[in-house]
A and B are shown apart, each in its own frame.
Chain A
Amino acid sequence: MVVGGIYSLVALSFAIIYKTIRFFHFAHGSVIVAGAYIAYSLSCFVGIPLLLSIVVSSLITTVLGIVIYKTTYSYLRVIGSSNLILAITSFGIFIFIQNLFQILYGAQILSLKTGPVSEGHLIMGGTITNVQISIIVISCLLLVLIRSVVVETRIGKAIRAVADDPLGASISGINPERIIIYSFGIGSALAGLSGGLISLESSIEPTMGLNLILKGIIASIIGGLGSIPGAVLGGFFLGIVENLGIWKIQAGWKDTISFAVLIAFLLFRPEGILGKRTDRENL
């Protein structure tokens, strides 16, 4: 469940961005890593209270996300590159930032553990700590919040309009560039938040970004690409399947299980759990 909560947060932040730009933004993984490390250094080196440092770090990642968009994707979109080029570029950015953090902080694992691990509540035979409860609660709250933003506010409406039809949206007076920047901002802020939460719950290392973003992408494909409730559902689904799997087999096979799930979904139900069958045309 806790893993599922983190996966859903990552998938949620990925899905918001994917909704408007329609390519795999791998660099998102490094934005999450940045969030985790900034939160870590703010609270350990600067000495800001933990929650505040997570908020600050998510503000910084918001800027980082927008900078990534402005410096590269924006230009590539203007010259009309394909999704594949954009995805490869994104991978390049990802490798760049990840290794930057590796040089800055070293490859070792850092941890922001708060309080002893034994402290927790017994629910249904399993122990669950306060941090874990708050991760689940926060991801559910964020889901509701993001959903209401997307469904009810003007920005949300514009995001959906751009997602459906960028040309049509620009005819009716919406600037797609601006909306994409908004979605990058929201998505990256969420990424920073999830990075901060990860640093609370488990240890952080520079190379965790790839795993996280891949799980995020898998979760949002399982749930239905571009669908926000789908991303959350997919995240919990993936978290549960993975942990059931390693409970039955071995911990090392975790990634094999999730990629097998991905390939199965791509082959048999590429539109995901919540996607509509008509979406298949776009795949």
Chain B
Amino acid sequence: MAYLLHILIIAGIYIILTLSLNLIIGYTGLPALGHIAFACIGAYSSGILALNFGISPWIGLIVGACAASFFGFVIAFPSIRLKGDYLALATFGFGVIVYSISKNWIDLTRGPMGLPGIPKFSFFSYELQPVWAYLIFVLVFIVFTTFIINRVVDSPFGRVLRSIREDEVASLSIGKNVNRYKITVFVIGAFFAGIAGSLYAHYITFIDPSSFTVMESIAVLLMVVFGGMGSIKGSFVGALTLVILPEMLRFLGMPSSVAAPLRQMIYGGLLVLLMLKRPQGIIGDYRFR
């Protein structure tokens, strides 16, 4: 039972990540391949604050999210004028840089040894120790994220985002400052990714760079594409399916040296199949070209 709840919590954290990436890539059409880097920044900033300065996870969560959105601005501001796959490559590069900083800046992050013993969240004096309590806690954040993202995409602001996705020149011509919208979207997306990272850090209580590799970014991208670009329901479907499905492999009794690459192989094959047969995802309506 605890195992099942654990999987659900992980899936919940991925839902937050997927929703925030969907805002960037699905609603605005910006190919960002370094999304996990924002989660990495969120996780490390709140982890370091809690461990080195004894700051409460609550403040750490907010600081982590703000740090992530600050870096979202830093990466978006210069690279937003690149088009299509060049932007993808630049964000990918950002992902690699953040990963290698977390691995090599030993003084701050302890490098590959990771940060053990990060405290859990607590309400007043009650620590969120049991798994079910944390699940409810994560659920609250999912609802919060869904609410905000839903508000964002349903507002006039969201309509501009979709118009940028469909035709950038046309949105420019009606006087929208396209670059400013794109940067804002990056900042919002990074904010929620930072929250997801911080939730992860305080749940697992141990973080190391290997949780934030480039492959993780691709996994989140796959969740967005699988569920459906530009669809909030799709993000739920994508994250839940792709977190729970590979767990089934565990019960087939395979050694982990085979199971881990097999999981990646399934991800890869699935990505190709989706692109070939159903680029709009399982329940998405927007046909991504």
Contact = CB atoms under 8 A, between A and B. Distances in A.
A206 B258 CA distance: 13
A89 B276 contact: yes
A93 B100 contact: no
Given A82-B84, A262-B93, A255 B276 contact: no
Contact of A250 (B88, B90, B104, B270): B104
B261 A102 contact: yes
Interface stretch (A72-80, A123-131, A151-159): A72-80
Interface string A63-78: 0000000001001100
B89 A266 contact: yes
Given A23-B85, A266-B86, A103 B97 contact: no
Interface of chain B, main secondary structure: helix
Contacts of B258: 103
A107 B268 contact: no
A126 to B, nearest CB: 26
B103 interface: yes
Given A72-B276, A210-B214, A85 B93 contact: no
A153 B78 CA distance: 42
Contact of B90 (A81, A93, A263): A263
Contacts of B214: 210
Contact of B269 (A82, A96, A206, A263): A96
A201 to B, nearest CB: 23
Interface in A92-106: 92-100, 102-103, 106
B265 A255 contact: no
A24 interface: yes
A83 interface: yes
B97 A256 contact: yes
A187 B215 CA distance: 25
Contacts of B225: 88
Given A94-B268, A98-B264, A263-B90, 13 more contacts: A24-B85, A24-B88, A80-B289, A84-B88, A87-B85, A92-B270, A95-B218, A99-B264, A99-B268, A103-B265, A256-B100, A259-B96, A266-B90
Interface of B: 31, 78-79, 82-86, 88-90, 92-94, 96-97, 100-101, 103-104, 214-215, 218, 221, 225, 257-258, 261-262, 264-265, 267-272, 275-276, 279, 288-289
28 contacts: A76-B276, A81-B275, A81-B289, A83-B84, A85-B275, A87-B88, A88-B225, A91-B268, A92-B267, A92-B268, A92-B269, A92-B271, A94-B268, A95-B265, A96-B269, A98-B264, A98-B268, A99-B265, A100-B265, A103-B258, A206-B261, A256-B100, A259-B96, A259-B97, A266-B82, A266-B90, A267-B79, A270-B86
Interface of A: 23-24, 72, 75-76, 80-85, 87-89, 91-100, 102-103, 106-107, 206, 210, 214, 217, 221, 250, 252-253, 255-256, 259-260, 262-263, 266-267, 270, 283
